[in-house]
Each structure stands twice: as C-alpha cells, then as structure tokens.
Amino acid sequence: MAAPGENLKVNGDRLWSSLMEMAKIGPGVAGGNNRQTLTDADGAGRHLFKRWCDEAGLTMGVDQMGTMFARREGTDPDALPVYVGSHLDTQPTGGKYDGVLGVLGGLEIIRTLNDLGIKTKHPIVVTNWTNEEGTRFAPAMLASGVFAGMHEQDWAYGRKDAEGIAFGDELARIGWKGDEEVGARKMHAFFELHIEQGPILEAEGKDIGVVTHGQGLWWLEVRLTGKDAHTGSTPMNMRVNAGLGMARITEAVHEIAMAHQPNAVGAVGQANVYPNSRNVIPGRAVFTIDIRSPELTKLTSMRVQIELAAQQIARDLGLGIEIEPTGHFDPVTFDPKCVAAVRNAAERLGYSHLDIVSGAGHDACWINRVAPTAMVMCPCVDGLSHNEAEEISKEWATAGADVLMHAVVETAGVVG
Ligand code: HGY
Ligand code: MN
Ligand code: MN
C-alpha cells in the first residue's frame, strides 16, 4: 500500500491543548504532575482520556490490569490492529509529557484521520498502559509486563505500595479493573512516541529519535539490618549502622557504573532509613539500586560486582543484608521493519532524525516481545525528565506525532 502523503500532518495546536488539559489533573507543586498510578488523580486522568476517545468515536476496552484500549475500526475487521500508545501515570515529581505525549499523540492520529475521512485497512488501537512508572508499585512497566507474559497477574495484584496497599485492591477501588483477559489481544504492530528523557537529540539539533534499541535494567532492593542506638552515647566501635552501609553501597554503585563506561549507568533513587530519627543510629535501611546498560555483558557484570561489594560492606559493618531483584529486562532490539517505518516517515516529512538507544524503560520494551514494535522520540529541554521542570516545545511534540502517525498509518495501510 502507498505510504501516506507528506501533507498528512497532525493538528499540533489541538495536541498541545490536550496535553495542557491533561496536565491539570494531578498537578505537582512546581508546574509538573503527581498523577501516580491507581490514585484518584490517575482515575480522573483515565476518565478524561475515555471522554476524548468517546468523542472521537472509539470503542473502549479495559483489561484486568486496567490497561485501556480505544479502537478505531479498519476496513478489514479481521486484520490485527496496529496499537499505539504509552502511559498516563506519572512520577511523584513528574513532568507533563513523560508517557502522556505517547497516549495523546496516538489520540491525535485518530482525530486527524477522522478530520480527513481517511480509512485504514487494519484497525488502530490507542493504548494507556497501567503503571508504567513503577514508582508506587514496583516494578516499572507492570501491566505491559503481564501482557507480554513476563509477570503473573496474581503476583502483580499483590504488589504493595509504601503504605502496604495492594495493586489489585487499588485498581478495583478506582473502578478501572476491566474484564478482558490480559494479553488476549493480538497486535499487528505497536508504536510508542516518547520524550527522550536525555540530552542527545537536543544537543545534536535533531527533531526525531529513531529508537533502534533500549537499555537493559536491574532494580535490586537492598535491606540492611543493624542496631538502633543512641547517636550521642554509643561509642563508635559499638555501632551497627545500617545508614552507613547504605551510604557505602550507594558510593560503590556509582564507582562500579563509572568503571563500566561507556554505556552504563547506576544510582540509588529510593532510600529509607529506620527509625529515621535525628538521634538514633539507623538499625534498618531499605533502598533500591537501579543499574542499566544497552550491553548485556556490562549489565550482568555490574550486577555481580555490586552484589559482591554490598556483601563485603555488610560484613565490614556487621550488618545483615538481603538483596532482592524487583525489576529486570534485558537490552531490547526493536523490530527493523517498524524502525524503518519510523525512519522513512521522518525522511518523508523532512524532519531531522538520529538513530538512538532508549536510556529509559518503556512499555514498548515488553510489547516488543509479543509484537513487532518501534518507538519515536522527541527531544526534551536539557534532557530533563522525572522532574517537574520537564519541558518540550509544541514543535517537537508536533513533529513526533507527525512521524508517529505516518509510521502507524503506513503500517495500518491507507484505504481510499
Ligand atoms: O524507569 C524507567 O526507565 C521508566 O521511566 N519507568
Ligand atoms: Mn515514560
Ligand atoms: Mn517515566
């Protein structure tokens, strides 16, 4: 089938105003968003997205993990749909565009095709994956992981947040526990538009990232056990300080990541000491190590070295230690045909573009295991994300959505 004409463009103003409308739901304290998964704010964002899908004439399905699938019919009802989407949940100090651009960019494709009366052979389904961020309920990309057969649904339902509330209970509480079997839907292809969340595209002056690969990741939760004691009257040689252990392991993570350059990263993002009182030596520390690399050998080597270093630090300080993997996926190679559709779309539309490896994890990383998948990226200001100051331009959003639309419509096949 013919590729869409280069004059097929989205309505950037409409996309931008929808982004700003969605950003009003679950506002942060510094201009970004705090719309964490399965909170009332997430529920409100879901209702707004559903209203917009209803207005665009889409049929909404919801699966048992709460993922939303909004379907536009194709001329061939038996053809497997082309899926397009991302996530509406945010970090606690998240930006307005991480995930949201991919969902509303998908909706903008539908709105544009409706405006122009364009039909496609394959149906198109706009998707909002539940709990991509993994910040409230670990791991990240939880619903897409169940969909791809990487996690059992009952295990996912049992994941608990910091207050001990279970995922399955919260999903039911906000009223978005659907009846569809997770993973029953079969896809012709999946495309995801996402901000880069890194500095490369902006620094290179490129409009579009053609994502060929995604980094692999380990999340390792470390639980250290020492002894609560008085910070004033306890002699230094009698202390069993879990906080000190956490500090030394955090430093070791950084050093080991630096020793695996280039293309390796490591940090501790979530860290808690107990009882967290000013004048008590922490008897417990619980924290999560996040390490990533596009090279499997480096990812594995970092994990091995970090676990050895952590065990040694615990021995040196007399601490008990438990290390539990709470998130993992190997480096991802996206589907060459879908990647070519993205690259050709950028060429056809005259947008500058660069092949890039995704530093962040995305639902596309799991869906790539069950359907031909590719991603489109747009730059973000200073490469900043997972920060309320996350910013993009309307031009970048529009270019990304144009390329996404061409890749999706070309894959779905224009009819008439
Ligand atoms: O952790 C990630 O890479 C994604 O932003 N959830
Ligand atoms: Mn995201
Ligand atoms: Mn994110």
User: pLDDT tens for residues 264-304?
Assistant: 999 999 999 999 999 999 999 999 999 999 999 999 999 99
Ligand that comes closest to the CA of residue 129: 2
Position 362 confidence tier, pLDDT thresholds 50, 70, 90: very high
Residue 243 in tokens: 């906080």
Q: How far is the CA of 141 from the centre of ligand 2 (A)?
A: 9
Q: Which of 132, 332, 390 to mutate to test the pocket of ligand 1 (most atoms within 8 A of CB)?
A: 132
Q: What's the predicted TM-score (pTM) here?
A: 0.94
Q: Which of 101, 133, 142, 390 to mutate to test the pocket of ligand 1 (most atoms within 8 A of CB)?
A: 133
Helical (H) or strand (E) element with 59: strand 59-62
Please tell me if the CB atom of residue 196 comes closer than 6 angstroms to any atom of ligand 1.
Answer: no
Place of tokens 């050998």: 297
**CB-count burial class (<10 Å; 0-12, 13-18, 19+) for 383:** middle
Which residues, listed in sequence order, are joined to residue 71 by a DSSP beta bridge? Answer: 59, 125
Q: How far is the CA of 316 from the centre of ligand 1 (A)?
A: 33
Ligand 1, atom 6, residue with closest C-alpha? 133
**Which of 10, 13, 197 has its CA nearest to residue 107?**
10
pLDDT, tens digit, 9 for 90 and up, residues 222-262? 999 999 999 999 999 999 999 999 999 999 999 999 999 99
At residue 383, what is the residue type?
Answer: G
Place of tokens 């030596």: 281
**Which of 77, 192, 123 has its CA nearest to residue 413?**
123
pLDDT, tens digit, 9 for 90 and up, residues 191-224? 999 999 999 999 999 999 999 999 999 999 999 9
Please tell me if the CB atom of residue 134 comes closer than 6 angstroms to any atom of ligand 1.
Answer: yes
Helices (H), 8-121: 12-23, 40-55, 100-116
pLDDT, tens digit, 9 for 90 and up, residues 299-335? 999 999 999 999 999 999 999 999 999 999 999 999 9
Phi and psi (nearest 5°) for 256? -70, -40
Ligand that comes closest to the CA of residue 91: 3
Q: How far is the CA of 191 from the centre of ligand 2 (A)?
A: 14
pLDDT, tens digit, 9 for 90 and up, residues 95-148? 999 999 999 999 999 999 999 999 999 999 999 999 999 999 999 999 999 999
Which three-class secondary structure state does DSSP give residue 241? Answer: coil
Q: How far is the CA of 277 from the centre of ligand 1 (A)?
A: 31
* Atom nearest to 141 CA in ligand 1: 6
Q: How far is the CA of 132 from the centre of ligand 2 (A)?
A: 7
Ligand that comes closest to the CA of residue 94: 3
**Which of 127, 100, 114 has its CA nearest to residue 15?**
100
Q: How far is the CA of 237 from the centre of ligand 1 (A)?
A: 41
pLDDT above 90 covers what percent of the chain? 98
* Atom nearest to 359 CA in ligand 1: 3
Please tell me if the CB atom of residue 291 comes closer than 6 angstroms to any atom of ligand 1.
Answer: no
Please tell me if the CB atom of residue 140 comes closer than 6 angstroms to any atom of ligand 1.
Answer: yes
Report the b/e string of 142-161 with b at 16+ CB within 10 A: bbbbbbbebbebeebbebeb
Which residues, listed in sequence order, are joined to residue 321 by a DSSP beta bridge? Answer: 224
- The upper half-sphere exposure of residue 321, i.e. CA atoms within 13 Å in the direction of its Cβ, equals 24
Ligand that comes closest to the CA of residue 390: 3
Please tell me if the CB atom of residue 302 comes closer than 6 angstroms to any atom of ligand 1.
Answer: no
**Which of 155, 153, 157 has its CA nearest to residue 166?**
157
